[in-house]
């Protein structure tokens, strides 16, 4: 594949691939130009165009190739690299108002960098070199990498090897001298159809009985045996209607699909885990450490929604009313709180054995846990400010109708000087982001992406260092002879992340 240089060449790179994509019960021949899919492609294209417009923000020089590459393909070499990822993510959220689909692949590459190094260290394998060779190749192509972690899971009380149907978790079904064959499915896959490569990974801690499910490999997105079934999004068929107002954000959207794998071949050179079940939890937790911090992307989307709330307040003639201003302040406070935790996690990164940097896990969990709550409140306040017209507004066709259009323009005016169509457009944007197609990327994805709230609470509990904090209180209270042993949460951090010492909060 020729190296992609900008958004247009990225879109061209998707054409001509033989991919089995189903949407609303139909096999789609030309998915690139399908009106329901194209906005998600446009969102990925913006990640390339941003690198052209703002190279210091969205690109970086690779030590692996010596070339300047897209930041989404970079192996993190310092805390500053992680901070720049966050700044890029917020900017892209501002530019698209949706999910731009490349964070999973970026975080998967970095999690695999340290994990493969430590698998090799224990087992004498060569996964790390294979991974570096793969990264050099995709950096040269400037490709989009999709990460596939979530399995359908079946009976949640049972592990992969205990399921009635083994395909409910993706697993190895055969091997030969050229590679392996995998079957199963990956659910909720962000941007998978818009990717050039898919990296499959385990989704949970595994046991010795789950060896066949302990597999990581890179697969071309158009590989034989892959079937994609496109996910529905609220109000998604509006993109197929005439006009662009009712869609709310006609240019950009996210993308989720289910991937079915039917004996998909993966060559040995693209396999980065093959039965090392004891490292599955390390990979999953390092990935989620990166990815839960990556949810600062929602602050960029939040910026758009806060702007939309301010705009409709202005159009309605009430921008200076005290309760409106208080709501705008609260929305901003919530949005910046998310960003603060995420970027602080990046600043407190530590170097791993492989040389890659891993952000602070506790703050990453706090960031994502905030994301499971605060965007919902920001959306609620925006709907409060917008008013009921957001969901009762007549269609664009009614506005274009020669009989009803003049009536709507007469009765749906706001303050003097505001065009009725502009008022309609901002209301549709708010509807789109809080109830429609892009509510998936802002709200539901905020709840369940990178793990639902309980997953973060478990990690926070493991690292809360309660014993250490109890000793702080006892020391100040003058209590002697009653100190706690070092807490399990601290040893957990060292065991999973292989860091010699996690500094206490005040250091």
Q: Which is the catalytic residue, given 116, 192, 196, 297?
A: 297
According to the model, what pLDDT value does residue 438 have? 94
Q: How far apart are the first and last CA of the chain?
A: 49
Separation between Cα atoms, residue 99 and residue 190, nearest integer Å: 9
- The helix, strand and coil proportions of the chain, stated in percent and rounded to the nearest 5, come to 55, 15, 35
DSSP bridge partners of 261: 184, 226
According to the model, what pLDDT value does residue 507 have? 39
Separation between Cα atoms, residue 74 and residue 71, nearest integer Å: 5
How remote is the C-alpha of 204 from its chain's centroid?
A: 18
In the residue annotation, 367 being an active-site residue is answered as no
In the residue annotation, 190 being an active-site residue is answered as yes
Count of all residues that appear for the chain in the document = 507
Separation between Cα atoms, residue 268 and residue 272, nearest integer Å: 9
How remote is the C-alpha of 429 from its chain's centroid?
A: 21
Q: Is 499 exposed, middle or buried (0-12, 13-18, 19+ CB in 10 A)?
A: middle
Domains of the chain plus CATH, in order, are 7-282 (2.40.110.10), 294-460 (1.20.140.10), 463-497 (no CATH)
In the residue annotation, 330 being an active-site residue is answered as no
According to the model, what pLDDT value does residue 501 have? 46
Separation between Cα atoms, residue 4 and residue 326, nearest integer Å: 46
Q: Which is the catalytic residue, given 96, 170, 190, 311?
A: 190
Kindly report the three-state secondary structure assignment for every residue of 112-158: HHHHHHHHHHHHCCCHHHHHHHHHHHHHHHCCCEEEECCCCCCCCCC
In the residue annotation, 256 being an active-site residue is answered as yes
Separation between Cα atoms, residue 312 and residue 385, nearest integer Å: 8
Q: Which is the catalytic residue, given 10, 127, 169, 295?
A: 295
According to the model, what pLDDT value does residue 491 have? 52
Q: Which is the catalytic residue, given 256, 276, 396, 431?
A: 256
Q: Which is the catalytic residue, given 46, 98, 99, 369?
A: 99
According to the model, what pLDDT value does residue 485 have? 62
Q: Which is the catalytic residue, given 128, 171, 188, 291?
A: 291
Residue pair 204/11 in contact by the 8 Å Cβ criterion: no
C-alpha dihedral, 220 to 225 to 226 to 229, nearest 10°: 170
DSSP bridge partners of 179: 267
In the residue annotation, 99 being an active-site residue is answered as yes
In 3D space, the residue among 82, 83, 57, 79 whose CA is nearest the CA of residue 70 turns out to be: 57
pTM greater than the 0.85 cutoff: yes
Radius of gyration of the chain (CA): 24
Q: Which is the catalytic residue, given 96, 103, 117, 169?
A: 103
Q: From the first residue on, what is the mean pLDDT of each consecutive set of 10 residues in the chain (507 residues)?
A: 94 97 97 98 98 98 94 98 98 98 98 98 98 98 97 96 98 98 97 98 97 98 98 95 96 98 98 98 97 98 98 97 98 98 98 98 97 98 97 97 98 97 98 95 92 93 90 91 62 51 45
Residue pair 104/146 in contact by the 8 Å Cβ criterion: yes
In the residue annotation, 295 being an active-site residue is answered as yes
According to the model, what pLDDT value does residue 116 have? 98
């Amino acid at each position: 594949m020729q190296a992609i240089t900008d958004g247009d060449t990225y879109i061209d790179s998707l054409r001509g691939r033989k991919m089995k994509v189903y949407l609303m019960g139909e096999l789609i021949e030309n998915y690139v130009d399908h009106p329901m899919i194209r906005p998600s492609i446009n969102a990925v294209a913006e990640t390339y165009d941003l690198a052209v417009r703002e190279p210091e923000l969205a690109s970086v020089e690779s030590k692996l190739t010596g070339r300047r590459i897209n930041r989404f393909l970079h192996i993190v070499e310092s805390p500053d690299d992680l901070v720049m990822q966050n700044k890029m993510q917020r900017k892209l959220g501002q530019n698209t108002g949706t999910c731009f689909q490349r964070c999973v692949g970026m975080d998967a590459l970095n999690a695999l960098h340290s994990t493969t190094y430590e698998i090799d260290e224990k087992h004498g394998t060569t996964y790390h070199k294979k991974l570096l060779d793969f990264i050099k190749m995709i950096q040269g192509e400037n490709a989009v990498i999709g990460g596939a972690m979530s399995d359908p899971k079946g009976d949640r009380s049972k592990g992969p090897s205990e399921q009635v149907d083994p395909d409910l978790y993706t697993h190895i079904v055969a091997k030969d001298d050229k590679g392996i064959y995998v079957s199963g499915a990956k659910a909720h896959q962000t941007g998978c159809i818009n990717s050039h490569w898919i990296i499959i990974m385990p989704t949970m801690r595994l046991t010795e009985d789950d060896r066949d499910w302990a597999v990581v490999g890179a697969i071309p997105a158009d590989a034989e045996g892959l079937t994609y079934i496109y996910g529905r999004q609220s109000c998604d068929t509006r993109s197929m209607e005439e006009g662009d107002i009712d869609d709310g954000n006609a240019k950009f959207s996210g993308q989720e699909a289910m991937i079915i794998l039917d004996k998909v071949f993966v060559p040995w050179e693209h396999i980065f885990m093959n039965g090392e079940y004891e490292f599955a939890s390390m990979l999953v937790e390092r990935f989620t450490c990166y990815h839960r911090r990556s949810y600062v992307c929602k602050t960029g989307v939040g910026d758009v929604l806060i702007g939309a709330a301010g705009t409709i307040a202005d159009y309605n003639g009430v921008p200076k009313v005290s309760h409106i201003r208080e709501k705008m302040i609260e929305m901003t406070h919530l949005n910046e709180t998310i960003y603060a935790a995420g970027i602080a996690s990046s600043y407190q990164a530590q170097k791993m054995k492989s040389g890659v940097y891993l952000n602070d896990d506790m703050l990453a969990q706090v960031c994502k846990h905030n994301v499971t709550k605060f965007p919902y409140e920001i959306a609620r306040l925006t709907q409060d400010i917008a008013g009921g017209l957001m969901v009762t507004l007549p269609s664009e066709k009614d506005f274009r109708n020669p009989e009803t259009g003049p009536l709507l323009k007469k009765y749906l005016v706001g303050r003097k000087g505001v065009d009725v169509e502009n008022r309609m457009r901002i209301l549709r944007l708010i509807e789109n982001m809080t109830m429609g197609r892009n509510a998936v990327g802002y709200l539901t994805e905020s709840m369940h992406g990178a793990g639902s709230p309980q997953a973060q609470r478990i990690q926070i509990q493991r690292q809360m260092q309660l014993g250490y904090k109890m000793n702080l209180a006892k020391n100040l209270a003058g209590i002697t002879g009653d100190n706690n042993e070092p807490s399990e949460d601290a040893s957990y951090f060292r065991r999973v992340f292989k860091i010699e010492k996690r500094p206490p909060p005040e250091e």
